[in-house]
Amino acid sequence: MRLKRSTAENYLFILPAVIIFAIFYIYPFYATFNLGLRAWDGVSPVSQLVGLRNFKEVLFQDRLWWPSMWHATYITLIALTLQNALALALALACDRQIKLGNFYRLIFFIPPVLSEVVVGLVWKWIYNGDYGLLNYWLTNIGLGHLARSWLSNPQTALTCVAVIHSWKGFGWGFIILLAGLQTIPRQLYEAARVDGANSWQRFWHVTIPLMVPVFVLVSILTILGSMQAFVLILTMTGGSPALGCSVPVTRILGSMRASLRFGYACAQGIIFGLILLALSFMQIRISKKMKQA
Amino acid sequence: MKRTGIFSMLLISLIVSLAGCGRTETKKADVVIWHWMTDRKKAFNELAKRYQAESGRQVEFKLFAPSEIYSQKVRAATQAGTLPDIYGILGEKKDFAIFVKAGHVLNLNTEMSDNIHEWRNKFFSKALIVNEFEPNNEFGAPAGIYGVPIDVTNIQMLYNKDLFKKAGLDPESPPQTFSEFITAGKKLKKAGTQGLVSGWAETWMIDCLASNFAFNIMGEKKVMRTYAGEVPYTDPDWIRVFSLFKEMADSGVLASGIVSMNNKDAEQNFANGRAAFAFNGSWCVNVYKGMNPDLNYAAMFVPRVSDEYPMLIWGGAGSSFMVNARSENKEKAVEFLKWLTDEKQQAYLAQDTNNLPANKYSLTNISPLLSQFAQTMENTTHPNIWPRHEKSVVIEAFDIGIQSIILGTKTPEEVAREVQEVKEREMAK
C-alpha cells in the first residue's frame, strides 16, 4: 500500500512535465501530421482530408523540394568541414597556455551572438557586386578579374551563404570542443610524451579518441543547425538567384505564404523532420561503432 | 506532507501559466484597425484624432510590420477569433475569397448602394472592382463588395533625368518602345550607369512586367486562354515574352544583381542615383522622397513591344480595408470608413503620404509626379480582376524561369517547356 502511494506520488511529480510536454510537443506534432493529411488554406474553417497525397507530392512530384534539400546539404557539408575544422584548430590553439587566451575566446564567440539578420545584411553589402567591400579589396590587390556579383551569380551565391553560415557558427563548435579538450586528463599527454610520442601522435592517439563523443555532439548540432538555416538565406538572397539558395525551410514558408497550402507545408515539415531525425540516429550509431572500434 | 505541498505549488503554477495562454487583448477604442502601412502611421493617427473630435468615437490604428508578419498575424487571428473591427487582407484575390467564404468579411453591397450609390460613386471604378466578387465567380465567393479602397496604385517605370543627361539622352523624351528602351540602356551602360533596377528577387515584380509584355504582344484573351490551358506556354508569343528578358539581359540594360535584389534595395539604388531606370509602383513617390528629396526623376509608361494590342500595366486598389463581419462594432466601422474615404480625408492622406487617393474627387493638389501616375489609371489591369488565374505553382515556375533566363542558365525555349510541363501536371490534378 505504501509502495503504491509512493508510485502515485512519483507520477504526480512528473505530471506537470508530462502535461507541458504533451501540450507543447506531442499535440503540435500530432496537429502538424494531421494537417499534413489535409488540404487547408490556413483560414477556412474546414479542411479536406486528402490522405497521403501531400506526402507523395513532396517526395515524388515537387521538382523544387529535392534541389532545396541538396542546397541545405551543401551548406551542411561546408559547415561540417570548414566550420568545424576552424573551430577545432582554434580550440586546440586556445587549449594551450597561450597569451591572451581569454581574449581570443571572447573574440571567437562574437559571431554566434550577433543577430543573423544583421550579419546577413552586413555581408550582403560586402558581397555587393557594384559597391561591395569584397570587390573593392580584390580590385585593390590586383585581383579585379575575380570581382563579380557574388550573390546574384548562381555559381557563387550558395557557397557565399555557406561560408558566412560557417563563419557565424564556428564559435559554438569552438566553445564545445574547447570544453571537451579541457576535460582530457593532462597526465595522458605526459605519459604519451614519456613514451616518446610526438605532437601528431599525441593528437591522433590521445586527443582524437577521447574527443569522439564531443565530435559527435558538435556534428549533430552542426547538421541540425545547418540543415535548418534560413534567416541568413532570407536576408542575403531571399532564396535567389532562381531559387539557387532555396532550402527546405524556405520552401515550407513558400508553401504556406505564397501558395497558401498549409497542409502541404505541414507534410514538407514532417518529411524534413524525419530526414533530420534519421540523420541524427545514423550519426549516433556510427559514433557508437567508432567508440567500440 | 511537504512533497504534497510542493506538488500543489507546481500544479498551481502550471495552471496559472496555462491561463496566461488565453486571450488577453482588451478593446478600449470604439473601432480597432490593424494595418501594415508604416509610411501612413502618422497620417492615420492624425485622422483618428480628427474623427474623435468630430464624432466623439475613438478609433485606434494598430500597426504590424513588415507586411509578411502582418499577414501571418491576420491569419492567426482568424483561427483565434481575435480579428479587429477593420483590417486589410494582403495577397491575391483567391486569398481574399478565402476570407470572404469563411465569413470574416462584411458584404458592403447595401452600404455602397445606399442613396443611389453615393459611396460607391466616389471611388475610381478600378479601385472598387478589385474588392468586388461578381456572381458565379471562379472562387465560389458570394457576390458583393467586400473592401473599401483607401488609395489606388499602378506600377510603371521611372527614369533619372540627370543620368539621362549624363549619358547624352533627352531627359524630356524617355523611351516609348522596347527597342528605344534597349538603345537607351546601351547608351547608359556606355556612360557607366546601371540601367533598370527592380525588386526581382521578389518574383511577383517579374511576373508583373512579364504580364505587361504578354498583354501587349498577344492580348488579354490569349493570356486568359493560356491560364485556362488552351494555349501552351511554348506558343511563339510566350517565347517572345521570355525572349524580351534575354534581350534585356544581353544588352546590359538590367542592373547587375537584379535577380537577387529586393525592392527596398532597388529603391535605394534608384533614389541614390545608382541606376537610371526603376520598375516600381506609385508608392515609390513617397519612398524616394524619404530617401532622396532632391532626386530628379519622372515616370514613363512601360515601353511597348507591339502595336497590335494595348500595353496594360498593373494597377487598381493599392490598399483596402475590410470590415470584420463578426465584429460587434461593424456599424461603427462602416461609418468610420465612409468618413475616411470622404474627399477631405482622402486629400489629406494623398498630400501627407504621396499616395494616389481612391476617391476620384480628391485629386486636386497632388504632386506632378503623382499626376503622371494618375493619368495612366485607365490603362491598368490587375490579376485580381482577371476572369481566370494561373496556379501559383505555375507562376513560380514562370518567374523562376525568367530569373534563369536573365542569369543565362536557361534559354527562353527551355523555360517555356519547363513552365508548360508544370502547367500540364497541375491541369492533370
Contact A259 B392 (CB under 8 A): yes
Residue A34 lies in a domain: no
Q: Do A19 and B14 touch (CB under 8 A)?
A: yes
- Which pLDDT score is estimated for B17? 54
**Contact with chain B for residue A6, Cβ under 8 A:** no
The β-bridge partners of B196 are: B254, B277
Question: What average pLDDT does the segment B302-326 reach?
Answer: 93
- Give me the pLDDT at residue B251, please: 95
pLDDT band at B174 (very low <50, low <70, confident <90, very high): very high
Task: Decide: B271 and B295 in contact? Cβ < 8 Å.
Answer: yes
**Shortest CA gap A224–chain B (Å):** 25
Q: Is A58 domain-assigned? A: no
One fold for B31-150+318-341 and B154-315+387-428 = yes
What pLDDT score does B421 carry?
95
B368 compared with A55, residue with greater pLDDT: A55
pLDDT at B368: 85
Query: Average of pLDDT values for B235-249?
Result: 97
For residues A62 and B426, give the distance between their C-alpha atoms in angstroms, rounded to a whole number: 11
- pTM summary value: 0.81
Query: Kind of pairing, strands B31-35 and B59-63?
Result: parallel
Q: Which band of pLDDT confidence, cut at 50, 70 and 90, is reported for residue B4? A: low
Find which of B74, B205, B260, B403 to mutate to test the A interface (most A CBs within 10 Å of its CB). Answer: B260
* A99 compared with B373, residue with greater pLDDT: B373
Beta strands in chain A (DSSP E): 38-39, 48-49
Domain ranges of chain B: 31-150+318-341, 154-315+387-428
B13 — pLDDT class (breaks 50, 70, 90): low
C-alpha grid cell, residue B24? 488577453
List Cβ neighbours of B262 (8 Å cut-off, separation of 6 or more). Answer: A238, B199, B201, B202
The rounded percent of chain B whose pLDDT value lies above 70 is 94
CATH number of B154-315+387-428: 3.40.190.10
Q: Enumerate residues 6+ apart whose C-beta is below 8 A from A240.
A: A151, A152, A157, B201, B259, B260, B403
Q: Could you report the per-residue pLDDT of A38-95, keeping only the tens digit for each?
A: 999 888 888 999 999 999 999 998 889 999 999 999 999 999 999 999 999 999 988 8
Using an 8 Å Cβ cutoff, are B49 and B342 in contact?
A: no
Interchain CB contact of A39 with B (< 8 Å): no
**Residue A167 domain-assigned (yes or no):** yes
| Interval A161-176 mean pLDDT | 94
Question: What is the least distance, in Å, from the CA of A46 to any CA of chain B?
Answer: 9
Confidence of residue A117 (pLDDT cuts 50, 70, 90): very high
How many structural domains comprise chain A? 1
Please give the Cα distance from B191 to B292 (Å, whole number): 22
How far, in Å, CA of A76 to CA of A229, rounded?
A: 9
Residue from A128, A135, A150, A152 whose CB has the most chain B CBs within 10 Å, to mutate: A152
Distance from the Cα of B150 to chain A's closest Cα (Å) equals 24
Report the pLDDT averaged over residues B359-370: 85
Region B335-355 average pLDDT: 93
What's the rounded mean pLDDT across residues A86-107? 85
Q: How far is A254 from chain B (nearest CA, A)?
A: 10
Q: For residue A132, give the chain B residue with the closest CA.
A: B257
Q: A6 lies in a domain?
A: no
What the block records as the C-alpha cell of A214 is 564531443
**Of A265-274, B22-31, B176-185, where does mean pLDDT reach its minimum?**
B22-31
In chain B, what percentage of residues exceed pLDDT 90?
69
Instruction: Report in angstroms the alpha-carbon separations of B36 from A24, B15, B69, B75, B154.
Output: 30, 35, 9, 14, 19
In this prediction, residue B3 has a pLDDT band, given cuts at 50, 70 and 90, of: low
| CATH number where A84 lies | 1.10.3720.10
A104 CA to chain B: closest CA distance, Å?
36
Nearest to A213 by CA among A237, A181, A169, A238: A181
What pLDDT is recorded for position B294?
Answer: 95
Number of A–B residue contacts, CB under 8 Å: 94
| Predicted local distance difference test score (pLDDT) of residue B218 | 97
A13 with B3: Cβ contact below 8 A? yes
Of A15, A131, A154, the CB nearest to B409: A154
Task: Answer whether A257 sits within 8 Å of B94, measured CB to CB.
Answer: no
Cβ contact, residue pair A63, B409, below 8 Å:
no
A293: confidence class by pLDDT, cuts 50, 70, 90: low
Tell me the pLDDT tens digit for each residue of A125-147: 999 888 889 999 999 999 989 99
B124 grid coordinates: 475610381
Q: Which of residues 212-241 of A touch B (CB under 8 A)?
A: 237-241
For B22-49, what is the mean pLDDT? 83
**Contact, B276 vs B160, CB < 8 A?**
yes
Range of the domain at A219: 65-245
Closest residue by Cα to residue A59 from A282, A267, A243: A267
Comparing A148-162, A240-254, B19-33, B399-413, the range with the smallest average pLDDT is: B19-33
Q: Give the DSSP letter of residue A54.
A: H
pLDDT band for position B9 (cuts 50, 70, 90): low
Could you tell me the fold of the domain covering B31-150+318-341?
D-Maltodextrin-Binding Protein; domain 2 (3.40.190)
Report yes or no: B370 and B356 within 8 Å, Cβ to Cβ.
yes
Which of A61, A238, A258 has its CB closest to that of B262? A238
Please indicate whether, in this complex, the C-beta atoms of A242 and B409 are within 8 angstroms of each other.
yes
Is A20 within 8 Å of B14 when comparing Cβ atoms? yes
